[in-house]
Structure formats: structure tokens, C-alpha cells
Amino acid sequence: MKIAISGKGGSGKTTISATLTRILARRGIPVLAIDGDPNPNLSLALGLSDSANTAAMPRSVVERREDESGKTSMVLTDSIENIIERYGLKAADGVTVLTGCRVEHSGAG
């Protein structure tokens, strides 16, 4: 099962995500929590330290590819198992958390 949580800033997305992942993990369900916010804090909400929170995956884990028709899509450059092994952190109640790519510096869009 995949659950995506989105919405406006300050509406409780991170709080709900952290609570939901912990409830599911406590029931024995393996949970992978992925923070896709460019200003991430899900791992903090899952009890990890600030330095763990800033240890985000590099942008190179995804790549933009174009098919014959010119349609572009984002694809993983490694298997999800390898990405979890390399960048996943164990958090509260055994939830595994992956922090998505951060905005590293300002620049033109």
C-alpha cells in the first residue's frame, strides 16, 4: 500500500505522516517513509537528530529520461533496495525514513 500526503504548508502533513507511519509500524507492518518536502523535517518528527534530518539523498538518485516520443519522466538510477540500504535511517518504532532531495542553494528556476 502506498499513501501520499500533500497539502498546504502548516496543515499538519508531517505530524499526520509521522503518526500514521508509527501506528502502522507498531502493528508489525514494514513502513518506508519518504519525505519529499524540499525543506524536510519528517525524520525529526520520527525522533531522529537534526544531523540525520539533513542527510538527504543526493539528486543523482533520480534522472530525467526522454522516450522516443519526446515524453520525459523521472526514473530511479539504482534499485529501491540499494537506495534504502544506502540512505535509509531507522527511526521511531522501526519506521525506515528516506529524506528526499533538499534545495542545496538558491538559483534560477
Ligand X SMILES: Nc1ncnc2c1ncn2[C@@H]1O[C@H](COP(=O)(O)OP(=O)(O)O)[C@@H](O)[C@H]1O
**Can you give the binding site for Mg ion, defined by CB under 5 A?**
13-14
For Mg ion, give the closer residue by CB, 37 or 93. 37
15 binds ligand X (CB under 6 A): yes
All three cell numbers of 11? 496543515
HSE-up of residue 60 (Cα within 13 Å, Cβ side): 1
Shortest Å distance, C-beta 13 to ligand X: 3
Shortest Å distance, C-beta 53 to Mg ion: 12
Count of residues near ligand X by CB under 6 A: 7
All three cell numbers of 81? 533496495
Beta strands, E only, the chain: 32-35, 62-66, 72-76, 89-90, 96-99
- What is d(CA 67, CA 45) in angstroms, rounded to the nearest whole number? 39
Look at residue 96 and give the partner it binds from ligand X, Mg ion, none, a contact being a CB closer than 5 to 8 Å depending on partner kind. none
Look at residue 11 and give the partner it binds from ligand X, Mg ion, none, a contact being a CB closer than 5 to 8 Å depending on partner kind. ligand X
Look at residue 10 and give the partner it binds from ligand X, Mg ion, none, a contact being a CB closer than 5 to 8 Å depending on partner kind. ligand X
Residue 84 phi, psi (nearest 5): -65, -45
Interacting residue ranges for ligand X, rule: CB under 6 A = 9-15
